[in-house]
Structure 1
C-alpha cells in the first residue's frame, strides 16, 4: 500500500468516526445503508418542502385502506437530511393520515437516537414534509 492509499484509508476512517459520533450507531448505519431512498412512481401522496437551510426534501406515500403501505424520499441535502427523511418514512409506515399529522421532528430524532444540535432542523424538515404529503393526500384522495 502506498502513502496515498494509506492517507485515504485513514481519512475515510476519520470521516466514519466523526459521522458515527454525530449520528449515533443507528443514524450512522442508515447513512451508510440508506433505506427508502428514491422517487416513487405514481404516489398517492407527495410532499415537497425547502428548508430554511436550503435543503429540499420530498416524501412519497402509497396508501392501502387509508394507511401508509409504502414510502420513499428524495433530498438534495446533507447526510443528516437523508438520515432524517429515511427514519421519517420508517416512522410513517402503517399510519393513517391523522396519525401522520402528529409526527414531529422530536419523534424523528427519537427514532434515530441522536442528531447533532446544528442538524436537528433536518428532523423538523422531515416532519414538515410528511405534513405536506398528508395535505396532498387529503386534497386529492378524500
Structure 2
C-alpha cells in the first residue's frame, strides 16, 4: 500500500469518527435551562444524571445519561420514559419496580441499577419542588 493510500484511509476513518460524535451530540444535546436536575453516584460507582423540563407541573421533556454499564443506561432511560408526560405527583409514585417492568428481569447483581435510576429521578423531582418553594 502506498503512503497516499494510508493517508486516505486514515482520513476516511477520522471523518467517520467526527461524523459519529457530531451526530451523537446533536441527538443528545444537553437541555438548556432545565427546571430540574439531579446527579447521583451509586455505591457501585455508576453516575446517573437527569434533567427535566416541566411545564404546568407536568414533565414535558427529559434528558439523561449514565457512565455505567448497559443495564445502568437502560434503567435511567426507562425512568425517563416513565416520567415523560406525567404530573409531579405521578412521577413521585414511580419506583424501581416500574423501571424493572420496562427493562425486564434483572440479575440480582444489577438490581441496584434500577434503584439508582429511581433515586436519580426522585432527586430531580425534589430539585424542582425545592426551586418552586424558593420562588413562592
- Pairwise TM-score range, normalised by the shorter structure: 0.7 to 0.9
Q: What CA deviation, in whole Å up to 9, does each residue of 1:36-78 have, x standing for no partner?
A: 9563221110011110111110111001111000001011111
Partners of 1:39 and 1:74 within 8 A in 2 = no
Output aligned runs, 1:1-80, within 5 Å.
Answer: 39-80=30-71
Q: Please, which runs of 5 or more residues in structure 2 have no aligned partner? A: 1-26
Q: Does 1:87 align with 2:78?
A: yes
Name which structure has the greater RCO, CA cutoff 8 Å, separation 6+: 1
Q: Aligned residue pairs: how many?
A: 107
Match of 2:16 in 1: none
Give the number of the structure whose alpha-carbon radius of gyration is greater. 2
Provide the aligned C-alpha RMSD in A.
Answer: 1.6
**What is the TM-score when the length of structure 1 is the normalising length?**
0.70
Q: In the alignment, which of 95, 111, 114 is matched to residue 120 of structure 1?
A: 111
What CA distance in whole angstroms lies between the structure 2 residues aligned with 1:121 and 1:83? 13
**What is the TM-score when the length of structure 2 is the normalising length?**
0.73
